[in-house]
Amino acid sequence: MGKKSIIERIGEALHLIPRIPERPWSSGATGPLRAYPNPDDWHDHVELDANAWPKQVERRYSLVPTTCFNCESACGLLAYIDKETGVVSKFEGNPHHPGSRGRNCAKGPATINQINDTERILHPLRRSGARGSGEWERITWDEALDEIAEKIRDSLKTGARDRVTYHVGRPGNEGYVERVLKAWGVDGHNSHTNICSSGARLGYSMWHKFDRPSPDHA
Tell me which residue range forms the domain holding 197. 165-211
Q: Give Dmax (Cα) for the chain.
A: 67
Indicate if 110 and 144 belong to the same structural domain: no
Residue 153 lies in a domain: yes
Which residue in 92, 111, 107, 108 sits closest to 47, CA to CA?
A: 92
How many Cβ atoms from other residues are within 10 Å of residue 94's Cβ? 27
Indicate if 102 and 47 belong to the same structural domain: yes
Question: What's the pLDDT score for residue 218?
Answer: 44
Residue 48 lies in a domain: yes
- How many folded domains does the chain comprise? 3
Indicate if 111 and 47 belong to the same structural domain: yes
Residues 172, 35: Cα–Cα separation, whole Å:
30
Question: What's the pLDDT score for residue 198?
Answer: 80
Question: What's the pLDDT score for residue 60?
Answer: 94
For the chain (218 residues), the mean pLDDT of every run of 10, in chain order, is 71 77 56 70 90 90 92 89 94 86 89 93 94 95 96 92 83 76 85 79 81 62
Question: What's the pLDDT score for residue 32?
Answer: 56
Residues 37, 43: Cα–Cα separation, whole Å:
11
